[in-house]
Structure 1
């Protein structure tokens, strides 16, 4: 009974993920893409429609905003979200760029909050977006404050996937960078996830030195030279420190 229940849940969420990735889908198309019987897909979709998490328009099914509601409820429960809200807006204003707060969840870097400065490029970044830890500055900032055993475990489990030609795929190179990040207090990625973009991030630690997240600023490489990089690094480090203080007293 337990195995059947687990399999049912997994199938339901496979359908949800497929609809989310593609925007919508018909029963026959979903069945083909997921290699599931048409009748099974239809039954699952009808159950999801009945719960309000999927809706049907004509012959097309799509997810509803119920998932947004759930995500926002959870986000507002997180201490770090409460601690960073005002500070992230200040970071975006001071740098004029794209500012985000990310946390680690299920071995990935997840965007929790976004603020856009006046010159920010639209990166289609939104709360809930997930990305490999090793391929982004905030992910590396968080990895730098995890035990080496945990980092090795993550590498063994997921590998170091190449997102762009500049992504770090060599564990030795990654560990060298993590040591440098701990020393200088911030991480940088130069086109490692998005070509042509430079991202600078500082880790947010709590009073027990546990990693709680990272604050990041991203902008086009053409306007972030060495001097401006240092200025942004100072801004994100200060913001991370203020967030840490807020976090300890939330």
Structure 2
């Protein structure tokens, strides 16, 4: 019975190591890069790389957030079974952080379906006014979600760019490299 927990811990640690390595090498966007995992139905920031243009954010390692309020959290939720997402909602609700936060369960599930279809999640000032983000889930070889990576920055630098049609190329590139490194360690 301990083996699955040990394997999960090993994969999460491996994910962190791989993601940190890739994020450190691939931060050409000029924006902040992040790594988030789900723990006890909350999002936990594990790592952040600031660029020379970074703004002050509260996303330090160890910071907890509601999953539905961030692009990374929504990328993680989109990779979970609907039943598990409902358990998370039952446990924490859908608290509003800004006027743009998704607080309606039906709207959240529609957003998660769109994320599943396109493979990326977006945060348009949903957790923090003025902050936008694009994220992708990191999966193990079986398809289980291990965490998520993102690029975030001020609305005036990211929202002006059509994030849904022209996301920072570093996100899918980094996602692919991390998943390959985990699969073939």
Query: Under a length normalisation based on structure 1, what TM-score does the superposition of the two structures give?
Result: 0.66
- SS of 2:88's equivalent in the other structure is helix
Which among 159, 162, 172 is matched to residue 106 of structure 2?
Answer: 172
Q: Is the 8 A contact 1:217 1:232 kept in 2?
A: no
Structure 2 residue runs of 5 or longer lacking an equivalent are 1-8
2:58 corresponds to which residue?
A: 124
Which among 50, 56, 79 is matched to residue 14 of structure 2?
Answer: 79
Tell me how far apart the structure 2 counterparts of residues 86 and 97 of structure 1 sit (CA, whole Å).
17
Cα deviation digits, residues 28-54 of structure 1 (max 9, x gap): xxxxxxxxxxxxxxxxxxxxxxxxxxx
Tell me how far apart the structure 2 counterparts of residues 134 and 227 of structure 1 sit (CA, whole Å).
22
- SS of 2:56's equivalent in the other structure is coil
Q: Is the 8 A contact 1:113 1:126 kept in 2?
A: yes
- SS of 1:246's equivalent in the other structure is helix
Structure 1 residue runs of 5 or longer lacking an equivalent are 1-73
Q: When you count helix as a share of all residues, which structure comes out higher?
A: 1
Q: CA deviation at 1:165?
A: 1.2
Cα deviation digits, residues 13-39 of structure 1 (max 9, x gap): xxxxxxxxxxxxxxxxxxxxxxxxxxx
Tell me how far apart the structure 2 counterparts of residues 155 and 188 of structure 1 sit (CA, whole Å).
19
User: Superposed, which structure 2 residues align to 1:151-230 within 5 Å?
Assistant: 151-224=85-158, 225-227=160-162, 230=165
Answering whether residue 172 of structure 2 is matched by residue 237 of structure 1, we say yes
Q: CA deviation at 1:246?
A: 1.1
User: Structure 1 residues 230, 86: CA separation in 2 closer, same or farther (over 3 Å shift)?
Assistant: farther
RMSD: 1.8
Q: Is the 8 A contact 1:135 1:192 kept in 2?
A: yes
Report how many aligned residue pairs link the two structures: 175
User: Superposed, which structure 2 residues align to 1:48-87 within 5 Å?
Assistant: 78-87=13-22
Cα deviation digits, residues 108-130 of structure 1 (max 9, x gap): 11111111112111213211111
The structure with higher relative contact order (CA 8 Å, sep 6+) is 2
